[in-house]
Amino acid sequence: MAFSRGLRAGAVILPVCFNAIISVAFRALELGYFSFLLKKYLNNFYKEVFLIFQIIKLSEIM
């Protein structure tokens, strides 16, 4: 009797835990992907700013 009650409780709790673990994993993947995109974008942004500063320096020299 207690065993079947434990099984029923486990059958209810397991999917809930599984869903929570999956949602957390997907959230971490999304955050990782967005941080990757952000790093990529910032890297390009810094390169463009650096190029602009180099052009300004060249124009000052000339």
- Span 25-52, pLDDT tens digits: 788 777 777 778 778 888 888 888 888 8
Q: Is the dihedral of CA 29, 32, 36, 37 positive or negative?
A: positive
**What is the per-residue pLDDT for 34?**
77
- What 3-state DSSP class applies to 4? helix
Q: Domains in the chain: how many in total? A: 1
**What is the per-residue pLDDT for 7?**
66
- Give the C-alpha separation, 40 to 13, whole Å: 40
- The pTM score is 0.39
41 token code pair: 């974008």
Distance of CA 38 to the CA centre of its chain: 10
